[in-house]
Amino acid sequence: MRLLLLGCTGFVGSELVPRLLSLGHELTIVSRMKKRKPKSFITNAIDFINANPATQDCWESSFLLQSLKNAEGVINLAGEPIAEKRWNKNHCDEIQNSRLLSTQYLINAISKLRRPPSILINGSAIGFYGTSLKNVFDESSGSGKDFLAKLCNEWESIALSKPKQTRLVIIRTGIVLGKDGGALAKMLPVFRAGFGGPIGSGKQWMSWIHRSDLCQIIEQALTNKSWAGVFNGVSPNQVTMSEFCNLLGKSLNRPSLVPVPGAILKFLLGDGAQVVLKGQKVVPQRLTQIGFKFEYPYLDKAFSAIKDS
């Protein structure tokens, strides 16, 4: 397929792009990344557009509009990282605008096409459900009331206004695990040094997914025409923060004894600390119903694969 990708030069994209190429897809990647495209992306099967998809200027590019016109599918994963900086008004605006504006401009452009793409895969997050220590959320659960929940709700609503001819798959992604990015990359050096431990109470839920499984979900959503609507991109086996840290320590043969007080995280991230301190238990009900096979359904196997990679 000829695919247009938004925001796929980061942590998830570093695995997704090579996998899509190996399957024979032709890619045009739109990214605000100012550096030259990654070495792994240098191939005749990729066109690279250095632009911010959350700006009007980006969508005035004739090359981008022609690429969209030629695209059979679109993957939209554009968005400012959520838990890497302290939340203040400016950063919250960046988190919000990078998702809402890029998706709105994309939908506006698609809607003007006589032949829109046959498939749109749009990002979202399990933050849609809000946070809870007790509740279990599946795709039929309602949205929460906090900042992230409202953001995800609006983000998905924009994507839903796509043309009727375009099949829409929305993936509400959990904590993505991989060696070279995401939350785990920040935790590994601490645990290897023997200073790892649960953050906050340790009772909060960690709804996670291995990056390879997330990429596999995207791959299947592209070509399986029966897939439509919302899917929770999480493993079927969720764990608490304490269990997560214990398993990570065991996989590295290191102790997991030093708890990190929630107050420290709140100082570093402000209100954004709730992403780690509260959490939510989310199940992949729809993926289970259709018989999706996770390569890494259990956390110990995921950690083992990441350690050995």
Do 286 and 235 meet the contact criterion of CB atoms below 8 Å apart? no
Beta bridge partners of 2: 26
* Level-2 CATH architecture, domain 2-176+210-234: 3-Layer(aba) Sandwich (3.40)
What's the confidence (pLDDT) of residue 34?
60
What's the chain look like in SS3?
CEEEEECCCCCCHHHHHHHHHHCCCEEEEEECCCCCCCHHHCCCCEEEEECCCCCCHHHHCHHHHHHHHHCCEEEECCCCCCCCCCCCHHHHHHHHHHHHHHHHHHHHHHHCCCCCCCEEEEEEEHHHHCCCCCCEECCCCCCCCCHHHHHHHHHHHHHCCCCCCCEEEEEEECEEEECCEHHHHHHHHHHHCCCCCCECCCCCEECEEEHHHHHHHHHHHHHCCCCCEEEEECCCCCEEHHHHHHHHHHHCCCCCCCCECHHHHHHHHHHHHHHHHCECEECCHHHHHCCCCCCCCCHHHHHHHHHHC
Give domain limits for the chain.
2-176+210-234
What's the confidence (pLDDT) of residue 82?
83
How far is Cα 166 from Cα 115, in angstroms, rounded to an integer? 9
What's the confidence (pLDDT) of residue 200?
83
Q: What is the pLDDT along the chain (309 residues), one digit of tens a residue?
A: 999 999 888 889 999 999 999 999 999 999 887 644 555 555 567 899 999 999 999 999 999 999 999 999 999 999 988 877 778 889 889 999 999 999 999 999 999 999 999 999 999 999 999 999 999 999 999 999 999 999 999 999 999 999 999 999 999 999 999 888 776 766 677 777 776 778 888 899 999 999 999 999 999 999 999 999 999 999 999 999 999 888 988 888 887 766 767 776 666 667 666 777 789 999 999 999 999 999 999 999 999 998 876
Q: Structure pTM?
A: 0.92
Do 103 and 159 meet the contact criterion of CB atoms below 8 Å apart? yes
What's the confidence (pLDDT) of residue 192?
74
Angle, helices 211-223 vs 13-22, to 10°: value is 40
